[in-house]
Amino acid sequence: MSVDTAAKQADAGDGAGRFLLDPYLDWAKGEGIPIHDDFGFDLLAVETGPWERYDARGCFAHTLGRGDFMSNYVLEVEPTRRTRPVRHLYEAFFYVLTGYGSTTVWLPDGTESSFEWGPKALFAIPLNCRYQILNASGVEPARLSCTTDAPLLLNLFHSPEFVFGSDAAFPDRVGAAARFEGDGEHSVYNQDSAKVQNVWETNFVHDLTSFKLYSFEGRGTGSMNVNFVLADGTMHSHVSQMPVGRYKKAHRHAAGTHVHAVDGEGFSLLWYEGDAEFRRFPWRHGFMYSPPFWMFHQHFNTGPTPARYVACSLGSRKYPFLALRRKSAEGSGAVSVSQGGRQIEYEDQDPRVHRMFLEALREAGVESRMGDAFDEAAIMALPPESLTGVIHTPRSTGPAI
């Protein structure tokens, strides 16, 4: 074949469909349910459609910052209905947005385990176990948010038949039977310079609004936190709480962290280093978004009650998977940017940040409790023209971590 002939065949598109493939997205499109693409979502309001795989309703909620390995879909089960039993080789964390029901899991040893759940419960399906979800209400649909590493598995194997059809068993992922009842094990691991704080290993959390949290002052005064290892998985989840009138320190990390507001209300600011403006994302229960890779983000509680959120991402405290996640697990995620870390301390943050917070509190009728860290009267007295320009970010003096 001459060079001219080869060039003409290439121009004619002989390579179409052979390169730059994305098997996960191809699978998602083939499922026949709505696919929503946006920075973030109100998952209680997104449109769903009939989903044959589950014999229920669903949609994909693809966030801008979902990255290469993680994604989210919403599963909606109509009153008194149950899903078709399914199994898959990707890990799945379910957060109950609304409704009451139960889940049955068929275990590798031939037994089955069932547990009941309500709003704001969190559970994981042990890897490749068959499971079925039942809506116990005769009136209201049940809606669950499912965060998964399906893109990782489907793009790795590029075979939905294998991902959904394998009979491989992973009995070590199941854990003790009581872990489907909410029992678990609390750990704090210390070795050399590494400190893995407050990890709870389980399969099921009854209610994220009342689950015991532990002090995490490194992210801000009054901040509380607990980390979950669910179903012995490589996916991570943690719940954090902000007190009334306070907010957390800004930080950045890898893509793929799906942040769900659990209770309370507020907003998050997001920006890249060098940006002139912040991106502002308001939230309350049902809202979910993913900070894009290396984008600073900061969470603010503007309501009259403490605010909690749950975050799901790749790389658990037990199996970090990613180098950045390992460093976070070791405690370096709360190290200042000025020391080579990924967090902006209050004294280093852009003055516009606290002013926006104070203005939001004033509108909500809530009193600030951040006077211990800021001269709030001086910040409010700054003229508007002094609060423009490129967002201030402290310069790093050490290696990036």
pLDDT at 10 exceeding the cut of 70: no
Closest by CA to 135, choosing from 55, 77, 53, is 77
> pLDDT tens across 242-290, in order?
999 999 999 999 999 999 999 999 999 999 998 989 999 999 999 999 9
Residues 182 and 331 in one domain: yes
Residues 134 and 227 in one domain: no
Give 57's contacts (C-beta < 8 A, 6+ positions apart): 33, 48, 49, 50, 51, 75, 76, 77, 78, 141
Residues 132 and 229 in one domain: no
How many C-beta atoms lie closer than 10 Å to residue 176's C-beta? Answer: 13
Domain contains 386: no
Residue 5 pLDDT: 46
Residues 159 and 283 in one domain: no
Task: Count how many domains the chain has.
Answer: 2
Residues 185 and 89 in one domain: no
Domain contains 1: no
Domain contains 61: yes
Give the residue-averaged pLDDT of 377-398.
Answer: 74
Residues 202 and 233 in one domain: yes
Residue 13 pLDDT: 57
Give the residue-averaged pLDDT of 82-107.
Answer: 98
**C-alpha to C-alpha distance for 249 and 346, rounded to whole angstroms:** 7
Lowest-confidence pick of 7-21, 247-261, 320-334: 7-21
Lowest-confidence pick of 67-71, 348-352, 389-393: 389-393
Domain contains 365: no
How many C-beta atoms lie closer than 10 Å to residue 27's C-beta? Answer: 18
Supply the CATH number for residue 187's domain.
2.60.120.10
Query: 338 versus 329: which is more confidently predicted?
Result: 338
Residues 276 and 336 in one domain: yes
Token output for 273: 């280093």
**C-alpha to C-alpha distance for 268 and 147, rounded to whole angstroms:** 20
Query: 5 versus 236: which is more confidently predicted?
Result: 236
Strand, coil or helix: 294: coil
- Which residue among 154, 176, 198 closes a domain? 176
pLDDT at 7 exceeding the cut of 50: no
Q: Which domain holds residue 49?
A: 32-176
Give 168's contacts (C-beta < 8 A, 6+ positions apart): 89, 128
Pairing of strands 122-124, 92-98: antiparallel
Residue 189 pLDDT: 73
pLDDT at 3 exceeding the cut of 50: no
Domain contains 292: yes
Residues 204 and 339 in one domain: yes
> pLDDT tens across 141-176, in order?
999 999 999 999 999 999 999 999 999 999 999 999
Q: Percentage of the chain surpassing pLDDT 70?
A: 91
Residues 200 and 334 in one domain: yes
Residues 60 and 100 in one domain: yes
**Tokens 């890898």 belong to residue:** 254
**Tokens 């419960």 belong to residue:** 121
- Which residue among 176, 205, 238 closes a domain? 176
Which segments of 243-372 are extended strands (E)?
250-251, 258-263, 265-271, 279-284, 287-289, 296-301, 307-314, 343-344
Domain contains 157: yes
Domain contains 401: no
Residues 133 and 47 in one domain: yes
For 276, counting Cβ atoms within 10 Å of its Cβ (0-12 exposed, 13-18 middle, 19+ buried), the class is exposed
Residue 193 pLDDT: 56
Residues 126 and 252 in one domain: no
Q: Angle formed by the axes of helices 150-157 and 23-30, to 10°?
A: 110
The mean of the pLDDT values for the chain is: 91
> pLDDT tens across 190-238, in order?
666 556 678 999 999 999 999 999 988 888 888 999 999 999 999 999 9
